[in-house]
Amino acid sequence: MAVVKAAYHHGDLRTALIEAALEIIDEIGPQGLTIRKVAHRAGVSHAAPYRHFPDKDDLILAVVERGFELLDEEMDRARSAAGSDPIAQFAASGEAYLDFAMSYPAYYRVMFSGDLLASKGNEALRHTSAASFVRMIDDLRMAQDMGLVRSGDPTLQAVAIVSTVHGFVSLANDNRLDQVYGGQYTEKQVRDFVITAIFEGLGVN
């Protein structure tokens, strides 16, 4: 992802700090993020970030929250464009999830890096990420009621879907797919197969 340059001149300091944090995460990973580095990247004093973020946990959570907001927006847009068929909507939202995860790897990386946070931050992170997961469970439950997918615990089905997708995205974003399949398939071929396998597992014809 090409993140916006974060040098702060005027206006929204909070947004500039989040963008600076993303740039740092994109370059050296979330483990290297510090308030001092964010301030330097944004071109402000070391004390300036504390006007908006009392500590690093709060800054990371702001990045996570913004990431999930963008993800939800992309998935909503895809669902709306997919028409009225529930399975088409489900597939479109899944494609949008993959598009987001692979187009915004810095966001995605920190959105699922709970080990970066203290216990307080982890509690907030679980709350932040829960809405998307609950929505998937509701979609699966509705599809079961309509006889569109096989019966079963929709929570476990959602866990299986997220685990499969997350594994693929992690391999793709870390440029490790070639190591798994020896370069005999394109990334799109693998991605399409992953999606097909998910739908076959759900019993969708």
Residue 22's alpha-carbon distances to 26, 27, 123, 186, 201, in angstroms, are: 6, 9, 22, 28, 35
Residues 74, 160: one domain?
Answer: yes
Q: Are residues 45 and 62 in the same domain?
A: no
Same domain, 2 and 79: no
Residues 7-27: pLDDT tens digits?
A: 445 468 999 999 999 888 888
Domain that holds residue 29: 1-53
pLDDT of 205 > 60? The answer is no
> What SS3 state is found at 152?
coil
Shared domain check, 134 and 176: yes
**Any residues with CB less than 8 A from the CB of 7 and at least 6 apart, and which?**
16, 41, 42, 43
Question: Binning pLDDT at 50, 70 and 90, where does residue 1 land?
Answer: very low
CATH of the domain at 20: 1.10.10.60
Q: How would you class 137 by CB atoms within 10 Å of its CB: exposed for 0-12, middle for 13-18, buried for 19 or more?
A: middle
Is the pTM value of this prediction over 0.95? no
| pLDDT of 40 strictly over 90 | yes
Task: Give 17-72 as a DSSP string.
Answer: HHHHHHHHHHHH-GGG--HHHHHHHHTS-TTGGGGT-SSHHHHHHHHHHHHHHHHH
CATH of the domain at 103: 1.10.357.10
DSSP-derived secondary structure letter, 9: -
Number of domain units in the chain: 2
174-200 per-position pLDDT tens digit: 888 888 777 788 888 999 999 999 999
